[in-house]
Amino acid sequence: MSEGPSPPLSSPPPLLLGRGQAPGKAILLGEHAVVYGRPALAMPAPGRGTQVELYALLSGGPVEWDLETPLDSPPHRRRELDAALADVHAALGVPPRPLRVRVRSDLPPAAGMGSSAALAVALARAVADAAALPLSREEASRVAFETERRFHGRASGIDNTTAAWGIPLAFRPGAPPEPLVVRGTFRFLWVHSGVTSSTRDAVAAVAALRDRDPGGTEALFDEIAATVASGRAAIARGDAPSLAAALTSNQAHLRRLGVSHPAIEAVITRALAWGAPAAKLTGAGRGGMVLVLAPDDPEPLRRAFPGAVEGVLG
């Protein structure tokens, strides 16, 4: 056999400096009121998250982003990504260096699944890994909170806390998160309403409502807190009908806060028609995901929503 021309010299493989990952999240009960100090319940997004790898950049720089859609879209614009990375370096006391940042995620952006918090926690873990710094989940959460505020304006901290802890939590701003006690199992489907929404705008709309009617809005937040407490107790007892009642009541609160949307209501109506005991928006609302509690036999619901993300609490 004759020898052909030798293959071109390939460039050396890129030098991997560090990696980090984090799950997305789904709020079960209590969004928006949690921004004003009330409790809320959240769980990691089922099997979904964000991975970051940092590579040494030999030429160019200071930072090259290697992204895939859907990450490369708002709220993940390059300027915000650069700022988030700078925040992470500053918060960890690690000097910035030329980097190629590879980001992969299967979280839909602007849909209430905590994609920006998952990215922030994964970035913090990757930068710490590259600097050989140990990073506790409390520290990862704290660092990510800085970038959350940049993405969201006012933020409660529930997204970064759930992304950093990676377990179902009862969360209240300013208090250590408590692992959620779950008896039995609760199956959920996450159905996209088909409408993307901005958390920053939804949070601002609730703030405007509170400015107009502080007494009424604070009273509504208190009602939400009571519903969160009864939902938490239902989860601890393995009591699906009571959890369904809490989810339904919380959706009514969220409507009154003005953060539902006709597309969300259409998903809820369809889910109930296919046998779901309850459904509500999850996250900031005005679009995004709808959280559907599945009945004992979830098959008809699965057929009704073929693209749904499925997850189990417990």
Binding residues vs ligand PMV (CB under 6 A): 27, 31-32, 34-35, 112, 114, 152, 155-156, 158-159, 199, 203, 283-284
Nearer to ligand PMV, 155 or 268 (CB): 155
Indicate the residue among 18 and 108 with the shorter CB distance to ligand PMV: 108
Q: Are 164 and 137 in contact (CB under 8 A)?
A: yes
Rounded-to-integer distance, Cα 82 and Cα 77, Å = 9
Q: How far is the CB of 14 from ligand PMV (least distance, A)?
A: 32
Taking the least distance from each CB to ligand PMV, the nearer of 20 and 112 is 112
Nearer to ligand PMV, 158 or 240 (CB): 158
Amino acid symbol at 2: S
Q: How far is the CB of 234 from ligand PMV (least distance, A)?
A: 21
Task: Identify residue 81 by its one-letter amino acid code.
Answer: L
Q: How far is the CB of 49 from ligand PMV (least distance, A)?
A: 14
Residues with Cβ within 8 Å of residue 58, at least 6 apart in sequence: 98
Q: Which residues have C-beta within 8 Å of that of residue 218, sequence separation ≥ 6?
A: 36, 210
CB of 158 to ligand PMV, least distance (A): 5
CB of 257 to ligand PMV, least distance (A): 10
Q: Which is nearer to ligand PMV, 102 or 260 (CB)?
A: 260
In the bound state with ligand PMV, the residue whose beta carbon lies nearer, of 18 and 168, is: 168
**Mutual angle of helices 115-130 and 78-92, in 10-degree steps:** 50
Smallest separation, CB 160 to ligand PMV (Å) = 9
* Nearer to ligand PMV (CB atom), residue 147 or residue 156: 156
CB of 226 to ligand PMV, least distance (A): 17
Quote the least distance from Cβ 55 to ligand PMV, whole Å: 29
Closest to ligand PMV by CB, 31 vs 129, is: 31
What angle (nearest 5°) sits at the alpha carbon of residue 208, between those of residues 206 and 213? 95
Rounded to 5 degrees, φ, ψ at 30 are: 105, 5
